Structure 1
Amino acid sequence: MEAKAIAAVLEEMMWLTAQTVCRRQTLGATNLLAVAVHPENEPGRAGGRGAYGCPGDCGSARLLHPMKGQQKEKRMLRITIELLPGGQEEGKRVIATADIARASDGPTGALGDYRVALSDAILGEVGEPTVVRRYPRWASSVWDLVARCLATALNQGREALPPRPARPEVTVRTNDAGYRYVRLDEIPEPTRTFFDRKLAGSGIPDHGCAFAHDWFDFLNGHR
Structure 2
Amino acid sequence: MREFSPDGFWWWDGTTWRPSTEIELTPQTEFERSGKLAHARALISRRDNAFAVSYGVGIVPDGVVAPVIDLLAIYMMVVQWRGFKEYRAWTLEQLKVATEELFGPDEPMVAGETALWPPTGLVPGMRRDFAVAVTREHVVLYQFAYADSPTMRVVFAAVASQVRMIQYGGIFKSNLGIICGGRRWDLGGIKRIFNPWPVIAALQSAAAAKIAV
Task: State the TM bucket, normalised to the shorter chain.
Answer: 0.3 to 0.5
- Normalising by structure 1, what TM-score? 0.31
More helix by share: 2
Determine which structure has greater relative contact order: mean sequence separation of CA pairs < 8 Å that are 6+ residues apart, divided by chain length. Answer: 2
